Amino acid sequence: MRSAIYYMLRDLGVTKLVTLSVGQRAMTHLAEDEFDIVLLGHNGRESTTGIQLLEEARYRGYMRPTTGWIFMTSDASQEVILHVIDSRPDELLTKPFSREELRRRLVHLIRRKRLLRGIDEALERDDQDAVLTACDRIDRDSPVYDEAQLIRARTLIKMGHSREALQMLERKYWETPDKEVGASLAEALMTLERHEEADATLQQLIETYPLFIQAYDLLARVQETQGDLVQATGTLHEATQKSPLGVPRQMELGRVATQSSEYDIAKSAFKRSITLGKHSCYRSPDPFLRLANISRLQMKTADKESVVELHNEIESALKDAEASFPGDSALKVKTALLRNQMYQAMDDEESALKAMKEAEARNMALEQPLNLQQESHQLGYDSIPVLQPIKVANVKESQGKQRDPEMSAKINRLGIKHYVSGKRSQAIRYFGMATEYDPSNVSAFLNLAQLFLESSRDEPEKRDERLRMVDRYLKLTERMQLPADAEKRRAQLEFYREEPADALPAGSLGVLLY
């Protein structure tokens, strides 16, 4: 087939040709040499497939904007085609094809690339101002005018000028509802925090283009931002049913499903990621660790017999990770941390302490030691996240650090909205973000204290941990100058803190501060 295409190209007048089998040698050429056009074939029976090479070329940045990519495949199944589209080649050509069909695609691609040359060169340099200038040079009657305007809008969003991009995209989308324009419109709305409008736009896109997988990815992000983790899980699950071959999407499904306690879906997604990752540039120990963590989370509500079974599942996943990545020293630190968390869930303090000492010893041997507390939180995210320690910066400490009190106040209000909707875990997440944008936002700190106090009352098995968080946030506010309403709120929370958690009144322990 490669020989046949070679002679087709020679017959069409193409003389500068390099022919290679799909493999590492081809990847080396793509990294080191410049090509006008790459025609990439796919054979699912080969040890390295065309899809894998395409995916890795995109992942490593070898798909330069100035190069045209044509992907050729005889497998026109939905899962293959949608997976190819994820890597965004310029053309997709199904085999067998005629000399005339090849000529037509080449002529179209060459003309398009010549017209977009200035834009593509600026994109390749990552010169965003030059991209905008080159887009403005494209005449309105040019056949690539609409594409240039879409590139311009995406660049504006990337530069933080989403309002300007939105005006352009809204006008264009309502003239002709193109799916790529619609996706960029939704992205602009998301960056402007107009989530309900972004949601509506994406829902309409999916209804019109049910195989437009990018719209599902964006919709899941919107739903998660709004605190609708169950809906986000459902959206990603539907996307992976339609397009199951992408590791990043399977990993994202596993992450969101874990946070929404959809453990069966999460386990399936991480297992699929492990299988798909064997020959992928996305191969990593992460899905093994995530799989082990789900079993750890399930221990919290399991009976004694099930705990033993879950313990075996965790050990199996961690041993598989270490066997698959034997030279990864940092992985051995992470597996020890997960074992520490597992033994804590089993109330085996002696084994938990032993695992933590092993993690510390292995960590000290690393060239660049990990932040063990941060790694523990990232490995074992819970339904209510344990936030990283937050320092209240004094004047000297805050100099040179970027703050955004306005954004902090806005995020604090979003947290209140989620709390009122009954989404306590999402509210905690937003209040934590608010303190990161402004470490002097006393309202966010007191709101966190209240929510963890309520959580200590409602979740006896986590009471000590939650009360420590309450004490921490109240202590942090001691060093702040509090307005009268905040001082009153703090005194009320301190009064509640002195009471036994079981004796606290049901429901909300007060009005959250704006």
pTM of the model: 0.73
- Within 8 A by CB and 6+ apart from 291, the residues are 267, 270, 271, 274, 313, 317
Confidence (pLDDT) at 381:
61
3-class state of residue 68 by DSSP: strand
Query: CA–CA distance from 307 to each of 244, 343, 399 (Å)?
Result: 31, 11, 50
Over range 244-256, report the average pLDDT: 95
CB atoms inside a 10 Å sphere around CB 157: 21
In eight-state DSSP terms, residue 385 is: -
**Lowest mean pLDDT across 24-33, 58-67, 285-294, 374-383:** 374-383
In whole angstroms, what is the distance from residue 161 CA to residue 157 CA?
5
**Lowest mean pLDDT across 80-94, 309-323, 390-404:** 390-404
**For residue 70, what are its two tokens?**
């044509």
Q: What percent of the chain has pLDDT over 90?
A: 57
Confidence (pLDDT) at 384:
35
pLDDT, mean over the chain: 88
Pure H helices in 243-399: 247-259, 263-277, 286-298, 304-324, 329-345, 349-364, 372-379, 395-398
- Inform me whether the pLDDT recorded for 421 exceeds 90: no
Amino acid letter, 359: A
On whether the CB atoms of residues 99 and 105 are closer than 8 A, the answer is no
In whole angstroms, what is the distance from residue 295 CA to residue 307 CA?
9
Cis peptide before 96 (omega within 30 of 0): yes
In this predicted model, what pLDDT tens digit does every residue of 52-68 receive, in sequence order? 999 999 988 899 999 99
- Inform me whether the pLDDT recorded for 397 exceeds 50: no
In this predicted model, what pLDDT tens digit does every residue of 159-191 receive, in sequence order? 999 999 999 999 999 888 899 999 999 999 999
**For residue 29, what are its two tokens?**
């050429």
- Inform me whether the pLDDT recorded for 119 exceeds 90: yes
